Amino acid sequence: MSSEISNARYADPENPALPKIDFNLDIARVALVVTDPQIDFLSPDGATWAVFQESITEQRTVPNLRRLFVAAKEADIPVVISPHYYYPHDHKWDFTAPGEALMHKLRMFNRRDPLSLEGFACSGADWLPEFKDLIDDGKTIVCSPHKIAGPQTNDTIFQLRKKKVDQVILAGMAANFCVESHLRDFVEHGLEVAVVRDATAGSKIPEGDAYAAALLNFRWLANALLTTDEVVATLGTMKAAAV
């Protein structure tokens, strides 16, 4: 299945100013990190579908994420989820930024409380059904929730360190928000990061195309910007070589 760039607007420039960096995945120290693979972002039933639908469809985000999950599991590398949950006390914050305020207004990722799963199944906070069998396999590392966009408020970095991971394949939602925030924090912690450009998506709103904004910053910050095809092929080769 092809992961060719679907929109010429997102193609890499013919004469880039930024230098190309050598990057090689190492099966001994790499993990797949996926942010927010949840219904509220990725499903027609989710709270944000109206503004993410075009980008998700364009990038083939859902099938590409599933392919990444499968390839990572087959290569036996750690798979880490950094989820987003809001509890009733989170809606009582004294101040917010616009992105936070919108998520609260839309009631995204709502859960009754940290210790209860009442009402969780099939809610906007739940995993997208297409990924459930791969996440709920008893092997996936599901971190505590991040609260705005980055991993500074959860244990993702800690879990990666405990698995001796210093190289990350990064994908998930949303491109200019949680994915970019995780990217920035990871590189500041000295991790090598490859962002999977067609296993994410961004909103398209009057303020602009969030995927395009993220793509520019990925080019500046990530050690590599790869397609799902490239990652799946590389993981397959690494698995075969390790046998």
**pLDDT value at residue 242:** 76
* Residue 241's pLDDT band (cuts 50, 70, 90): confident
What is the arithmetic mean of pLDDT over 164-169?
98
Q: pTM for the complete prediction?
A: 0.96
Q: What percent of the chain has pLDDT over 70?
A: 97
Question: Above 50 in pLDDT, residue 237?
Answer: yes
CATH architecture of 25-157+202-221: 3-Layer(aba) Sandwich (3.40)
In the structure encoding, which two tokens stand for residue 211, read together? 């995927």
For position 144, what pLDDT does the model report? 98
* Structure confidence at residue 161 as a pLDDT band (50, 70, 90): very high
pLDDT(2) > 70: no
Is-contact 199 172, C-beta < 8 A?
yes
Beta carbons of 196 and 231 less than 8 angstroms apart = yes
Q: Is the pLDDT of residue 66 over 90?
A: yes
Question: What's the pLDDT band for 1 if we cut at 50, 70, 90?
Answer: very low
Q: What are 108-143's pLDDT values in tens digits?
A: 999 999 999 999 999 999 999 999 999 999 999 999
Average pLDDT over residues 188-207: 98
Q: What is the pLDDT of residue 203?
A: 97
Confidence of residue 67 (pLDDT cuts 50, 70, 90): very high
* pLDDT at residue 104, rounded to an integer: 92
Residue 198 has pLDDT above 50, yes or no: yes
Percent of the chain with pLDDT over 90: 94
Structure tokens at 136: 């709920």
Residue 3 pLDDT: 47
Question: How far is 108 from 123, CA to CA, in rounded Å?
Answer: 10
Residues 168-178 have a mean pLDDT of: 98
Query: Is pLDDT above 60 for 164?
Result: yes
pLDDT of the residue at 4: 61
Query: Is the peptide bond prior to 174 cis by the omega test (within 30 degrees of 0)?
Result: yes
CA distances, 57 to each of 4, 36, 50, 167, 201 (Å) = 13, 17, 12, 28, 9
